[in-house]
Amino acid sequence: MAAPSPPAPTAPDAPHLTPQLAQWTQALGYGPLYVRRALLVQQAPQAAPTTAPMATPATTPVAPAPVVAATPPRVIPPSPSTRSSPTPRSAPRPAVASEGDAARAEAIARMDWPALDAATQVCRACKLGSSRHQAVFGSGATTARWMIVGEAPGAEEDRQGLPFVGAAGQLLDAMLHAIGLDRHAQEPQHAVYIANVLKCRPPGNRNPEPVEVAQCAPLLQRQIALLQPRLILALGRFAAQSLLGSTAPISQLRDQVHHVDGIPVVVSYHPAYLLRNPADKARVWRDLCFARQVMTSAAPAQADAQP
Ligand code: URA
């Protein structure tokens, strides 16, 4: 008669290696390192931000904002016959962290702006570090209330070391101007800080890989923590899914206020997508007005609460 098989192992409830757990992990061929890593993640969740959300997301559905357009942008009216859906791709699931990754994330979480920028410039945490021309840290006033998060640098960004300076960037600038924002402004209410999920260009503008997202996540997390923006505008499915730890399509993530570490997040289409699908500019205009309304209502009592 065959011996009864042992009960299936489960994740340890407490950080103790019980004799039973040791027996199970040994039977499964896992050594003590496996156990230590699991406990490390349990004990230091902030130090190992390798689960899908970059921070702690939450969602508050709200009614779509009424559009109050003081300076309407030029939009091409939506035409169902020409409209197409956003590229159907999902943000990759970040890879599992090692102890070294956790230590690196802990160190990054203590950096100030100059240290964080310097660390990004010399980063070799993934293979993009050897194919990029330069890392693209981010740009804008560090007192900005608005934070824009895109996907990854393209060829022009890689050349100049600045985010959104190619064709998509020009469209982004126009979108921002339409709601009274300017990437070169210094006054907090008009300024924007722009960053990407990835700091280095994926060769050929291919999709980011899970390990690249995982290695870059602590950098973006620290940027958010230092900036403490009043609102994050996530542009494109990739930025939205990475920030929110979601696999939902962008159509489901729009028209809602999500939260990451208590900071409101509004989702819209990526400007590069809009260049290919100009009919969706009207939707983006609605998203921008919605974001502006969220920003305004986040600080109604303050005299300078203008977006
Ligand atoms: N697309 C992005 O998402 N970010 C950039 O910086 C440029 C293009």
Give the residue ranges of the chain where pLDDT is below 70.
Answer: 1-97, 299-307
205 C-alpha to center of ligand 1: Å?
A: 10
Structural domains present in the chain: 91-298 (3.40.470.10)
249 residue type, one letter: P
- Report pLDDT digits (tens) over 127-150: 999 999 999 999 999 999 999 999
What pLDDT, on a 0 to 100 scale, did the predictor assign at position 96? 55
Q: Which of 134, 148, 164 to mutate to test the pocket of ligand 1 (most atoms within 8 A of CB)?
A: 164
Put residue 84 in one of left, alpha, beta given phi > 0 → left and psi -120 to 50 → alpha: beta
Contact at 8 Å (CB) between 256 and 59? yes
Q: What gap in Å lies between CA 232 and CA 240, rounded to an integer?
A: 10
Per-residue pLDDT, 91: 57
Mutate to test the pocket of ligand 1, among 157, 171, 223, 276 (most ligand atoms within 8 A of CB): 157
Amino acid at 135: A
